[in-house]
Amino acid sequence: MTTSSAAVEKVMLMAPVIPVLVIEDIEHALPIAEALVAGGLPALEVTLRTDCAIEAIKVMKQVPGAVVGAGTVLTPADLARSIDAGAEFIVSPGLTPKLAEAAARSGIPFLPGTANASDVMFALEMGFDRLKFFPAMAAGGPSALKAISAPLAAAKFCPTGGVTIDNAPDWLALDAVLCVGGSWMVPKGKPDVAAIEEAARTAARLAR
Protein backbone atom coordinates (compact mmCIF):
# COMPACT_ATOMS: atom_id res chain seq x y z
CA MET A 1 0.00 0.00 0.00
CA THR A 2 1.30 3.44 -0.91
CA THR A 3 1.49 6.37 1.49
CA SER A 4 -1.42 7.97 -0.38
CA SER A 5 -3.50 4.79 -0.09
CA ALA A 6 -2.84 4.59 3.63
CA ALA A 7 -3.93 8.20 4.10
CA VAL A 8 -7.25 7.80 2.30
CA GLU A 9 -7.86 4.41 3.93
CA LYS A 10 -7.56 6.10 7.31
CA VAL A 11 -10.47 8.37 6.31
CA MET A 12 -12.46 5.41 4.99
CA LEU A 13 -12.06 3.49 8.24
CA MET A 14 -13.21 6.31 10.52
CA ALA A 15 -16.80 5.02 10.33
CA PRO A 16 -18.86 2.63 8.18
CA VAL A 17 -20.50 5.58 6.41
CA ILE A 18 -19.18 8.81 4.91
CA PRO A 19 -22.08 11.29 4.71
CA VAL A 20 -22.38 12.82 1.23
CA LEU A 21 -23.65 16.36 1.73
CA VAL A 22 -25.27 18.87 -0.61
CA ILE A 23 -25.29 22.12 1.37
CA GLU A 24 -27.72 24.60 -0.17
CA ASP A 25 -27.84 27.09 2.72
CA ILE A 26 -24.59 28.04 4.45
CA GLU A 27 -26.51 28.50 7.70
CA HIS A 28 -27.17 24.75 7.70
CA ALA A 29 -23.51 23.73 7.43
CA LEU A 30 -22.49 24.03 11.07
CA PRO A 31 -25.51 22.32 12.69
CA ILE A 32 -25.38 19.46 10.17
CA ALA A 33 -21.68 18.88 10.82
CA GLU A 34 -22.14 19.04 14.58
CA ALA A 35 -25.01 16.53 14.49
CA LEU A 36 -23.15 14.06 12.25
CA VAL A 37 -19.95 14.16 14.29
CA ALA A 38 -21.94 13.83 17.54
CA GLY A 39 -23.61 10.77 16.03
CA GLY A 40 -20.27 9.12 15.27
CA LEU A 41 -19.65 10.02 11.62
CA PRO A 42 -16.57 12.28 11.58
CA ALA A 43 -15.61 12.09 7.87
CA LEU A 44 -17.86 14.48 5.94
CA GLU A 45 -17.94 14.84 2.15
CA VAL A 46 -19.21 18.24 1.00
CA THR A 47 -20.11 17.99 -2.68
CA LEU A 48 -19.20 20.90 -4.94
CA ARG A 49 -22.72 21.06 -6.34
CA THR A 50 -23.81 24.34 -4.75
CA ASP A 51 -22.56 27.90 -4.68
CA CYS A 52 -21.83 27.73 -0.96
CA ALA A 53 -19.99 24.39 -0.95
CA ILE A 54 -16.50 25.86 -0.58
CA GLU A 55 -17.63 28.10 2.27
CA ALA A 56 -19.38 25.11 3.86
CA ILE A 57 -16.08 23.22 3.95
CA LYS A 58 -14.50 26.10 5.84
CA VAL A 59 -17.41 26.30 8.29
CA MET A 60 -17.60 22.55 8.95
CA LYS A 61 -13.89 22.38 9.70
CA GLN A 62 -14.62 24.40 12.84
CA VAL A 63 -16.40 21.39 14.39
CA PRO A 64 -14.08 19.46 16.74
CA GLY A 65 -13.47 15.98 15.41
CA ALA A 66 -14.75 16.69 11.91
CA VAL A 67 -12.63 15.58 8.96
CA VAL A 68 -14.05 17.50 6.02
CA GLY A 69 -13.50 16.59 2.40
CA ALA A 70 -14.71 17.83 -0.98
CA GLY A 71 -16.78 15.70 -3.34
CA THR A 72 -17.85 16.09 -6.97
CA VAL A 73 -14.31 17.26 -7.74
CA LEU A 74 -14.12 17.16 -11.53
CA THR A 75 -11.04 19.15 -12.56
CA PRO A 76 -7.62 20.24 -11.30
CA ALA A 77 -9.18 23.66 -10.67
CA ASP A 78 -11.84 22.08 -8.43
CA LEU A 79 -9.07 20.21 -6.64
CA ALA A 80 -7.07 23.38 -6.07
CA ARG A 81 -9.95 25.42 -4.67
CA SER A 82 -10.98 22.54 -2.42
CA ILE A 83 -7.49 22.28 -0.99
CA ASP A 84 -7.35 26.05 -0.56
CA ALA A 85 -10.60 25.83 1.44
CA GLY A 86 -9.00 23.29 3.77
CA ALA A 87 -10.45 20.05 2.43
CA GLU A 88 -8.72 17.09 4.04
CA PHE A 89 -9.67 14.53 1.42
CA ILE A 90 -11.02 14.60 -2.15
CA VAL A 91 -13.71 12.51 -3.83
CA SER A 92 -14.54 12.48 -7.54
CA PRO A 93 -17.27 10.70 -9.53
CA GLY A 94 -14.72 9.49 -12.08
CA LEU A 95 -11.07 9.86 -13.03
CA THR A 96 -9.24 11.62 -15.86
CA PRO A 97 -5.51 11.70 -16.52
CA LYS A 98 -5.31 15.41 -15.68
CA LEU A 99 -7.20 15.02 -12.40
CA ALA A 100 -5.15 11.94 -11.48
CA GLU A 101 -1.90 13.81 -12.07
CA ALA A 102 -3.03 16.87 -10.12
CA ALA A 103 -4.20 14.75 -7.19
CA ALA A 104 -0.96 12.79 -7.13
CA ARG A 105 1.08 16.00 -7.13
CA SER A 106 -0.98 17.46 -4.30
CA GLY A 107 -0.51 14.43 -2.07
CA ILE A 108 -4.02 14.85 -0.60
CA PRO A 109 -5.99 11.68 0.22
CA PHE A 110 -7.98 11.02 -2.97
CA LEU A 111 -10.92 8.71 -3.64
CA PRO A 112 -11.52 8.62 -7.40
CA GLY A 113 -14.73 7.23 -8.85
CA THR A 114 -14.95 3.95 -10.77
CA ALA A 115 -17.92 2.09 -12.26
CA ASN A 116 -16.42 -0.94 -14.01
CA ALA A 117 -13.30 -3.08 -14.36
CA SER A 118 -11.67 -0.77 -16.91
CA ASP A 119 -12.11 2.20 -14.58
CA VAL A 120 -10.52 0.27 -11.73
CA MET A 121 -7.62 -0.85 -13.92
CA PHE A 122 -7.02 2.75 -15.03
CA ALA A 123 -7.09 3.98 -11.43
CA LEU A 124 -4.62 1.28 -10.40
CA GLU A 125 -2.39 2.22 -13.33
CA MET A 126 -2.43 5.84 -12.10
CA GLY A 127 -1.44 4.75 -8.60
CA PHE A 128 -4.80 4.79 -6.80
CA ASP A 129 -6.15 1.62 -5.16
CA ARG A 130 -8.68 3.06 -2.69
CA LEU A 131 -11.67 3.93 -4.86
CA LYS A 132 -15.25 5.12 -4.96
CA PHE A 133 -17.70 2.78 -6.74
CA PHE A 134 -20.24 5.08 -8.38
CA PRO A 135 -23.12 5.09 -9.11
CA ALA A 136 -23.18 2.03 -6.87
CA MET A 137 -26.71 0.72 -7.38
CA ALA A 138 -27.05 1.83 -11.01
CA ALA A 139 -23.69 0.21 -11.80
CA GLY A 140 -25.04 -3.17 -10.77
CA GLY A 141 -25.22 -3.22 -6.99
CA PRO A 142 -23.23 -5.41 -4.60
CA SER A 143 -23.17 -8.39 -6.97
CA ALA A 144 -21.47 -6.30 -9.67
CA LEU A 145 -18.79 -4.97 -7.32
CA LYS A 146 -18.18 -8.46 -5.94
CA ALA A 147 -17.53 -9.70 -9.47
CA ILE A 148 -15.38 -6.69 -10.46
CA SER A 149 -13.27 -6.79 -7.33
CA ALA A 150 -12.47 -10.51 -7.49
CA PRO A 151 -9.72 -10.21 -10.13
CA LEU A 152 -8.69 -6.74 -8.93
CA ALA A 153 -7.97 -7.59 -5.31
CA ALA A 154 -5.60 -4.66 -4.72
CA ALA A 155 -8.53 -2.24 -4.88
CA LYS A 156 -10.79 -1.41 -1.94
CA PHE A 157 -13.99 0.58 -2.31
CA CYS A 158 -16.47 3.08 -0.94
CA PRO A 159 -19.73 2.44 -2.85
CA THR A 160 -21.81 5.61 -3.26
CA GLY A 161 -25.01 6.31 -5.18
CA GLY A 162 -28.28 4.72 -4.19
CA VAL A 163 -26.85 3.41 -0.91
CA THR A 164 -29.40 3.42 1.92
CA ILE A 165 -29.60 2.30 5.53
CA ASP A 166 -31.40 -0.80 4.24
CA ASN A 167 -28.88 -1.90 1.61
CA ALA A 168 -25.70 -0.60 3.28
CA PRO A 169 -25.19 -3.91 5.14
CA ASP A 170 -25.10 -5.77 1.81
CA TRP A 171 -22.29 -3.52 0.62
CA LEU A 172 -20.37 -3.59 3.90
CA ALA A 173 -20.46 -7.40 3.90
CA LEU A 174 -18.18 -7.44 0.83
CA ASP A 175 -14.48 -7.98 1.51
CA ALA A 176 -13.60 -5.26 -0.99
CA VAL A 177 -15.69 -2.59 0.77
CA LEU A 178 -14.20 -0.47 3.56
CA CYS A 179 -17.12 1.95 3.94
CA VAL A 180 -20.08 3.36 2.03
CA GLY A 181 -21.09 6.89 1.09
CA GLY A 182 -24.66 8.00 1.63
CA SER A 183 -26.92 11.01 1.89
CA TRP A 184 -29.87 9.48 3.73
CA MET A 185 -28.87 10.92 7.13
CA VAL A 186 -29.49 14.51 5.98
CA PRO A 187 -32.76 15.12 4.12
CA LYS A 188 -33.28 18.31 2.14
CA GLY A 189 -34.53 21.42 3.89
CA LYS A 190 -33.93 22.91 7.30
CA PRO A 191 -31.90 20.40 9.31
CA ASP A 192 -33.55 18.52 12.15
CA VAL A 193 -30.38 18.10 14.18
CA ALA A 194 -31.83 15.53 16.59
CA ALA A 195 -33.01 13.35 13.72
CA ILE A 196 -29.68 13.74 11.89
CA GLU A 197 -27.73 12.77 14.99
CA GLU A 198 -29.91 9.71 15.56
CA ALA A 199 -29.58 8.65 11.90
CA ALA A 200 -25.81 9.09 12.21
CA ARG A 201 -25.74 6.91 15.34
CA THR A 202 -27.63 4.18 13.52
CA ALA A 203 -25.23 4.40 10.55
CA ALA A 204 -22.18 4.39 12.80
CA ARG A 205 -23.33 1.10 14.35
CA LEU A 206 -23.43 -0.73 11.00
CA ALA A 207 -21.18 -3.80 10.99
CA ARG A 208 -18.35 -4.21 8.51
pLDDT tens-digit readout, 105-144? 999 999 999 999 999 999 999 999 999 999 999 999 999 9
Which pLDDT does position 4 carry in this prediction?
74
The catalytic residue among 45, 61, 156, 197 is: 45
**pTM of the predicted model as reported, rounded to 2 decimal places:** 0.97
Answer yes or no: 34 catalytic: no
pLDDT tens for residues 43-87?
999 999 999 999 999 999 999 999 999 999 999 999 999 999 999
DSSP 150: T
Q: Could you give the C-alpha distances from 117 to 156, 162, 201, in angstroms and in order?
A: 13, 20, 34
Which pLDDT does position 111 carry in this prediction?
98
Sequence-distant (≥ 6) Cβ neighbours of residue 126 within 8 angstroms: 95, 97, 100, 101, 104
CB neighbour burial string for 95-112, b if at least 16 within 10 angstroms, e if fewer: beeebbebbeebebbbbb
pLDDT tens for residues 144-163?
999 999 999 999 999 999 99
Compute how many other C-beta atoms are within 10 angstroms of the C-beta atom of residue 138.
11
The catalytic residue among 34, 61, 88, 132 is: 132
Which pLDDT does position 1 carry in this prediction?
63
Domains of the chain and CATH, by start: 3-204 (3.20.20.70)
Answer yes or no: 45 catalytic: yes
Residue 147 in contact with residue 139, Cβ under 8 Å?
A: no
